[in-house]
A = this chain, B = another copy of it.
């Protein structure tokens, strides 16, 4: 950690850098996941989420600007671990229905990580009276929840049945 936060404002900034790092790592992972997908629908899902993630990074940059700070990331062991686990599955399972089911679950772990982080940021921004930042972060939180629901439906309605 660069500097230990001593108040909620600094904790907000620390977490903002954490999630900025995470989103940038995710943009590197998603094309690899898309390339390994057997289901065309899953591949398209990863590609769409990549576009969304790039938009979410722009929103984070706006939040940095609102806080009078330059965008910067802070290495975050949580997202590294989550993505490492997904990469391990991708390197060991042969492409096909089982890997598709594994990748969708790995993507949902990423989504849930982001839901937790953006959820905290939205709550803290509210407490700190940062209305504009809160609105931007809330837009992303909503998108992450939608992506998780879409992945759920794709898994339950289609991909798990193929894998079973």
Interface residues of A (CB under 8 A from B): 1, 4-8, 10-11, 15, 18, 76-82, 84-85, 88-89, 92-94, 97-98, 101-102, 104-105, 108-109, 111-113, 115-117, 119-120, 123-124, 126-128, 152, 155-156, 160-161, 163-164
Contact = CB atoms under 8 A, between A and B. Distances in A.
Given A111-B116, A127-B164, A15 B105 contact: yes
A108 to B, nearest CB: 5
A122 to B, nearest CB: 10
A85 to B, nearest CB: 4
- SS of A interface (majority): helix
B120 A105 contact: yes
13 contacts: A1-B88, A5-B93, A5-B98, A7-B163, A18-B85, A78-B81, A78-B85, A82-B82, A104-B120, A108-B119, A109-B117, A113-B113, A123-B160
B11 A123 contact: no
Given A77-B81, A79-B81, A92-B4, A11 B152 contact: no
B155 A123 contact: yes
A89 B15 CA distance: 11
A77 B82 CA distance: 7
A82 B84 CA distance: 12
